[in-house]
Amino acid sequence: MAHVTSGQITLGKAASLLGIIQGIAWFALSLACIIEYNIKTPPQNATSYMDTFNSRVYYFYLYKDAKFPPGTSVTPLAFTVFMCIYIVLNTAWVVTSVVQLNVLRKLSLNVPIVFKDWALITWIISLVDLILVIMLGFDYGRYCKDAYGEEHCTNTVIPILVIAARGFILWFVNVIIAWRMLVNADLLRRGGSYEGTFGGIFPIYRITGHIPRANVSSAPSLYSQQAVNINTEKNLWNVNLRTAMDARTPPVSPRNTQGFFDNNRSRSPKTPYERNQEFFGNNRPLSPRTPYERNQDFFGVSRTPSPRSPNGRNHFSSRY
């Protein structure tokens, strides 16, 4: 959904207030007409011009037993049917206007939907107004003046016709604002989501606003790339894949700081003899292993070896 401008917000709020005020007013008028039609309380003897006007309006549009010339379109029954239609439409108009104010206050993703709904309901109400005005004008021109006189019909039918047309000016204002709301709804819904709403015809209102986020395609990790290559080449020997693919250095022992196959590394002694220890780990210099190394004879008697001659034989003082 595109960004909602301040002008669009102002237009939506003005349209909502217009719909709420007109909807409540026409709802009250329609309800009063329906009640008057059902209770049968005709006005008493008129003593003023307003009483005369009320009695004529009641006889023309609310009195069940009134007699009209044949072909009259707007009879009391037909007029009451129009009032029932107005009650339904104006209730929907008020509800849509209130929802639109709430959506504009939160700036949620439903702004284009409520704009379009408000415009459609306004156009339907304007169409019903136009139909009723045409029917009233038809009766006034063809039957009323001949049956009741021009003055009588003018003072009775024309005021009702003007109210039905909303003073004509307000009717044109409603149509123009509805057209502008529909245009702005089309501008705002470009790029918007209408899943589950049948294009906004049956909207699912979500009052909570959502922050639009850009769709960023995630780049494949080194692990996934190397894993694909290894699976393709079938080189599945003893390799720590997670360590290799994440390009992390494997843990190194403190004793072994060089490569595994490095011949120049410092090796620790592996046997007790190399560590200059006995088998059980007592750290001491190794004793001689043989009697000759211990400077003893075979039975453990300490002896001093006799000096040897340069040619390897014992040197005696006797002469042979």
Q: pLDDT-based confidence at 230, cuts 50/70/90? A: low
Please give the residue that has the higher pLDDT: either 248 or 30.
30
Question: What kind and span of H or E run contains 26?
Answer: helix 6-39
What span, in angstroms and rounded, lies between the C-alpha atoms of 274 and 286? 10
Please give the DSSP secondary-structure letter assigned to residue 149: -
90 three-state secondary structure = helix
The answer to whether residue 309 scores a pLDDT higher than 60 is: no
Q: What's the rounded Cα separation, in Å, for the pair 21 and 205? A: 23
More confident residue, 230 or 36: 36
Q: Looking at residue 308, what is its pLDDT?
A: 52
Tokens for 240, please give them. 């720590």
User: Which carries the bigger pLDDT value, residue 302 or residue 87?
Assistant: 87
All structural domains of the chain with their residue ranges: 6-188, 220-250, 269-300
Q: Over 90: is that where the pLDDT of 208 sits?
A: no
Average pLDDT for 202-210: 47
**pLDDT, tens digit (0-9, with 9 covering 90-100), for 147-172:** 677 777 788 888 889 999 999 999 99
Q: What are phi and psi of 283, to 5 degrees?
A: -80, 100
> Rounded CA gap, 297 and 285, in Å?
22
Cα radius of gyration rounded to whole Å, the chain:
53
Instruction: Flag the least confident range among 177-181, 214-218, 263-267.
Output: 263-267
Global pTM?
Answer: 0.58
- 256 or 166, greater pLDDT: 166
Average pLDDT for residues 106-112, to the nearest whole number? 78
- Maximum average pLDDT range among 111-115, 124-128, 274-278: 124-128
pLDDT at 195: 43
* Angle, vertex CA 99, rays to CA 93 and CA 101, nearest 5: 105
> Which tokens sit at 64?
């069940």
pLDDT band at 194 (very low <50, low <70, confident <90, very high): very low
Average pLDDT over every residue of 290-317: 54
Count CB-CB contacts under 10 A for residue 159. 13
Q: At 294, is the pLDDT very low, low, confident or very high (cuts 50, 70, 90)?
A: low
